[in-house]
Amino acid sequence: MASFLLDNADLQYYLGEGLDWDALVRLTERGQNGPEGFASTAEALAFYKETAALVGELVASDIAPHAAEIDRQGVAFAGGEASFPPRLQAINRQIADLGLHGLVLPRELGGMNAPMVVYFVVGEMLARADAGLMSHFGFHGGISTAMMLLSILEGTTELDPGTGKVLRTRWGDAIREIASGQAWGSMDITEPDAGSDMAALRARAEQDGQGRWLVSGQKIFITSGHGKYHFVIARTDGGAAGLAGLSLFLVPAYRDEPDGRRTRLATLDRVEEKLGHHGSATVAITFDRTPAELVGRAGDGFRHMLEIMNHARVGVGFQSLGLAEAAFRMARAYAAERRSMGKTIDRHEMIADYLDEMEGDIVGLRALAMHAAFHDEIAQKQNLFGRFLPPVNGSAGAPLREARWHRSVARRATPLLKYLSAEKAVEIARRALQIHGGNGYMHEFGVEKLLRDALVMPIYEGTSQIQALMAVKDTLGGIIKQPQAFVRRTAQARWRALSAREGVEKRVAKLQQLSLSAQQHLATRTVAARVSAVKRAVSSQPMSTWAGALFQPLDPKRDFSLALLHAERLTRLLADELIAEVLLEQAQRHPERRVWLERHLDRAEPRAHFLHTEITTTGTRLLAKLSPPSEPTQQPAETTPAPLPAQPEAAE
Ligand SMILES: Cc1cc2nc3c(=O)[nH]c(=O)nc-3n(C[C@H](O)[C@H](O)[C@H](O)COP(=O)(O)OP(=O)(O)OC[C@H]3O[C@@H](n4cnc5c(N)ncnc54)[C@H](O)[C@@H]3O)c2cc1C
């Protein structure tokens, strides 16, 4: 029987020795060993593998063969509701019947209590069959786990101090409804005039005479927004402008009456007509004084949204990976059959080079995706247990210290993963189409669908540019805050490049040196811009304003402009560097992984030299055009003090 798990040795590596399953099982089961739990890591892992194998067969046999039909039929809008064709309904029912919506939810809430990493493996395989369908799947588990997480954080969940089991939780009924597949949710941020720029969001929430919250405003492009439970970001009355005035609400969009009728509490304006992702509904929805529940405290909406979005970005990483895997396999199979000029096209050098790069990229991306997912999950679980449960062993602070470290690892990896996987999904799908020649342009072969589906990856869950801004902000902010640590890392990389015993270790160290050198260039130029701005202020302003000019914080618009101009280039370099580090670590534990590291380095090394040259030699001409010296932003004394680059989705 066909299986998207068993035909993929790289994916199977992570369901075995590729991840520290002891750590994942220990934290996920946390003292729950009993009739429902597992006696050992091996037993738990056998169960996860069995589940993944079941899904691998389902997607290969029952979903992928219908991808073209799903794409052709799409989701319609009828009678104010989204209407799914019978095939999509049947597939969604199959997924629900297997209990997959509860995969990571606690058993006591109707779930299977599996680690998030298993959920991402399932997500990747679903996306390989149909990326749109995977999106809809993600808004079941994604929203119900967000309900759990936010309720724990706001203190409305009671956990058993011994076992960590959920005794009571604020949205328990909704979570059970979602786990059973009867309902799902959505994340409602985007509005007609605001997407990346969340400070410009206008939807409002106000309290009535009894203190009940009511939300008003239109949200657009909402994936699975035809569902019941909407996490809505809205501006709270009297709240501050910008990001601090945003709050998060849980808003049921309809109520099903006992007689079977549906009462809508928010109006579906339309199902968006889109280029791809026809397996999921994307809607515009209007809330008009719709009753809402405030999550946490008013004004914390942006922070809560980031909690949810960080996981969603890892999810998009796996979704992009699944789509890239489908495109690569389709291209490889076609190239092995199609003949041109006396041989199959996979024997022609240029096509062979494409296929070789696609395959290596996918292995590198999966390493990055697993790295991000693993550390994100450990960080989150350690943090929750450290804060809300008594310690099992050791000191009370240990889990929190460990959580902070894992969080910093995940924070470095997540924007790099979202950026690179999305961009590569488009590149790989585009190359797959090219390999198909004219056939690729025809609907019949299905490869153009992959390109249409891929094109949204760099747009949603924070565009590629926003990911790049986040990565650069963190990287340069870190250097400027702790220059000694940066100098130490540079010295260590130089030492390893000279003295490492293994050739591959030296190569990784040299790649790190190039990345560090590009970072240093941008950090130096950022600080230099600041110093010259201060100099200008000192020479042209009265002495009474000097202190203000000297101690003004860095302004993203003025001081970081060169770094922002090169943000995508630096992000590519940082991603190549991190993939090399993860693959090196794998190769040191499992020598058979070394071949993937070498293949990655063969491609990443020349790319890094090119990116380094671009970053260190270009940009000033355009910057001069964007911001001539006479512009007010060049005058520190006249500029409102601003924190470190607080790009809308970058702050945390
Ligand atoms: C199929 C689909 C599903 C979606 N699902 C959801 C959903 O479920 N929930 C939801 O809330 N939204 C959803 N969205 C919306 C999506 O998240 C936004 O489209 C996205 O955040 C970009 O916002 P925007 O469209 O307003 O573009 P803009 O923010 O106007 O950006 C336009 C361009 O400018 C760039 N840009 C913006 N600011 C900067 C900057 N400071 N520096 C450099 N470049 C910049 C962007 O990167 C982009 O290239 C979905 C969109 C699509 C297409």
pLDDT digits (tens, 9 = 90+) for 105-120: 999 999 999 999 999 9
- Distance (Å) from CA 464 to ligand 1 centroid: 9
Cross-strand partners of 216:
204
HSE-up (13 A, CA, CB side) for residue 61: 12
pLDDT tops 90 at residue 514:
yes
Whole-angstrom CA distances from 107 to 151, 164, 168, 445, 531 are 17, 12, 13, 42, 58
Determine phi and psi for 249, rounding to 5 degrees.
-130, 145
471 burial type by CB count under 10 A (0-12 exposed, 13-18 middle, 19+ buried)? buried
For residues 391 and 395, give the distance between their C-alpha atoms in angstroms, rounded to a whole number. Answer: 7
The set of residues, in sequence order, having a beta carbon less than 8 Å from that of 109 and lying 6+ positions away, is 102, 148, 166, 169, 172, 175, 176, 179
Nearest-atom number in ligand 1 for the CA of 188 is 11
What is residue 42's three-state secondary structure?
helix
Q: How confident is the model at residue 634 (pLDDT cuts 50, 70, 90)?
A: very low
Stretch 152-176: mean pLDDT: 94
pLDDT at residue number 641: 31
Cross-strand partners of 262:
256
Pocket of ligand 1 contains residue 541 by CB under 6 Å: no
- Distance (Å) from CA 269 to ligand 1 centroid: 20
Residue nearest to atom 12 of ligand 1 (CA): 190
pLDDT at residue number 548: 67
Stretch 251-271: mean pLDDT: 97
Amino acid at 372: A
Stretch 246-263: mean pLDDT: 96
CA dihedral defined by 50, 53, 59, 62, rounded to 10 degrees? Answer: -80
Q: DSSP readout, 565-590?
A: HTHHHHHHHHHHHHHHHHHHHHHHH-
- Distance (Å) from CA 461 to ligand 1 centroid: 8
For residues 20 and 40, give the distance between their C-alpha atoms in angstroms, rounded to a whole number. Answer: 14
Please write the tens of the pLDDT for every residue from 409-457.
999 999 999 999 999 999 999 999 999 999 999 999 999 999 999 999 9
- Distance (Å) from CA 93 to ligand 1 centroid: 31
**Pairing relation of β-strands 254-256 and 262-264?**
antiparallel
Pocket of ligand 1 contains residue 465 by CB under 6 Å: yes
For residues 213 and 236, give the distance between their C-alpha atoms in angstroms, rounded to a whole number. Answer: 9
pLDDT at residue number 583: 98
- Distance (Å) from CA 350 to ligand 1 centroid: 35
**Pairing relation of β-strands 213-223 and 204-207?**
antiparallel
For ligand 1, mutation pick of 196, 467, 560 (most atoms within 8 Å of CB) = 196
Q: DSSP readout, 468-517?
A: HHHHHHHHHHHHHH-HHHHHHHHHHHHHHHHH-SSHHHHHHHHHHHHHHH
Contact between residue 334 and residue 325 where contact means Cβ atoms under 8 Å apart = no
Q: How confident is the model at residue 604 (pLDDT cuts 50, 70, 90)?
A: very high
- Distance (Å) from CA 649 to ligand 1 centroid: 11
Residue nearest to atom 38 of ligand 1 (CA): 196
pLDDT at residue number 442: 98
Residue nearest to atom 27 of ligand 1 (CA): 195
Pocket of ligand 1 contains residue 565 by CB under 6 Å: no
Give the number of other CB atoms < 10 A from CB of residue 574: 25
Stretch 598-613: mean pLDDT: 98
Contact between residue 235 and residue 203 where contact means Cβ atoms under 8 Å apart = yes
496 or 553, greater pLDDT? 496
Top-confidence range, 236-250, 289-303, 633-647: 289-303
The set of residues, in sequence order, having a beta carbon less than 8 Å from that of 119 and lying 6+ positions away, is 103, 104, 141
For residues 207 and 209, give the distance between their C-alpha atoms in angstroms, rounded to a whole number. Answer: 7
Residues shown for the chain: 652
pLDDT at residue number 603: 98
For residues 408 and 574, give the distance between their C-alpha atoms in angstroms, rounded to a whole number. Answer: 15
Q: DSSP readout, 164-203?
A: --EEEETTHHHHHHHHTTS--EEEE--BTTBSS-GGG---
Contact between residue 338 and residue 344 where contact means Cβ atoms under 8 Å apart = yes
Stretch 550-563: mean pLDDT: 74
pLDDT at residue number 36: 74
pLDDT tops 70 at residue 633:
no
Candidates 46, 47, 10, 40; CA nearest to 22 is: 40
pLDDT at residue number 27: 92
Pocket of ligand 1 contains residue 459 by CB under 6 Å: yes
For ligand 1, mutation pick of 71, 460, 565, 649 (most atoms within 8 Å of CB) = 460
What is residue 142's three-state secondary structure?
helix
Rg (CA), the chain: 25
pLDDT at residue number 31: 67
pLDDT tops 90 at residue 549:
no
The set of residues, in sequence order, having a beta carbon less than 8 Å from that of 130 and lying 6+ positions away, is 63, 64, 66, 67, 70, 71, 279, 453
For residues 194 and 190, give the distance between their C-alpha atoms in angstroms, rounded to a whole number. Answer: 6
For residues 129 and 61, give the distance between their C-alpha atoms in angstroms, rounded to a whole number. Answer: 10
Stretch 477-499: mean pLDDT: 96
Looking at every residue in the chain, the average pLDDT score rounds to: 92
Picking from 331-345, 374-388, 395-409, 437-451, which range would have the lowest pLDDT averaged per residue?
Answer: 395-409
Please write the tens of the pLDDT for every residue from 59-104.
999 999 999 999 999 999 999 999 999 999 999 999 999 999 999 9
Q: How confident is the model at residue 637 (pLDDT cuts 50, 70, 90)?
A: very low
Pocket of ligand 1 contains residue 463 by CB under 6 Å: yes
- Distance (Å) from CA 195 to ligand 1 centroid: 5
591 burial type by CB count under 10 A (0-12 exposed, 13-18 middle, 19+ buried)? exposed
Stretch 597-603: mean pLDDT: 98
Picking from 228-242, 432-446, 564-578, which range would have the lowest pLDDT averaged per residue?
Answer: 228-242
- Distance (Å) from CA 448 to ligand 1 centroid: 23
pLDDT at residue number 532: 77
pLDDT at residue number 192: 98
**Pairing relation of β-strands 213-223 and 343-344?**
unpaired
375 or 536, greater pLDDT? 375
pLDDT at residue number 398: 76
pLDDT tops 50 at residue 646:
no
Query: Which helix (H) or strand (E) element contains residue 558?
Result: helix 556-559
For residues 197 and 466, give the distance between their C-alpha atoms in angstroms, rounded to a whole number. Answer: 10
Residue nearest to atom 35 of ligand 1 (CA): 465
For residues 277 and 280, give the distance between their C-alpha atoms in angstroms, rounded to a whole number. Answer: 6
Query: Which helix (H) or strand (E) element contains residue 536?
Result: helix 503-540
Residue at token pair 């992928």? 64
Contact between residue 559 and residue 636 where contact means Cβ atoms under 8 Å apart = no
For ligand 1, mutation pick of 202, 459, 467 (most atoms within 8 Å of CB) = 459
241 or 444, greater pLDDT? 444
Please write the tens of the pLDDT for every residue from 122-162.
999 999 999 999 999 999 999 999 999 999 999 999 999 88
- Distance (Å) from CA 190 to ligand 1 centroid: 8
Residue nearest to atom 31 of ligand 1 (CA): 196
Q: Structure tokens of 621?
A: 């001409």
Stretch 323-328: mean pLDDT: 98
For residues 308 and 149, give the distance between their C-alpha atoms in angstroms, rounded to a whole number. Answer: 9
**Whole-model pTM?**
0.94
Whole-angstrom CA distances from 372 to 120, 363, 405, 652 are 11, 14, 13, 17
Stretch 349-358: mean pLDDT: 98
**SS3 helix, strand, coil % of the chain, rounded to 5?**
60, 10, 25
Pocket of ligand 1 contains residue 46 by CB under 6 Å: no
Contact between residue 645 and residue 473 where contact means Cβ atoms under 8 Å apart = yes
Q: Structure tokens of 243?
A: 């990001």
pLDDT at residue number 303: 94
For residues 11 and 124, give the distance between their C-alpha atoms in angstroms, rounded to a whole number. Answer: 9
pLDDT at residue number 134: 98
Stretch 501-516: mean pLDDT: 97
pLDDT tops 90 at residue 535:
no
For residues 593 and 583, give the distance between their C-alpha atoms in angstroms, rounded to a whole number. Answer: 7
pLDDT tops 60 at residue 352:
yes
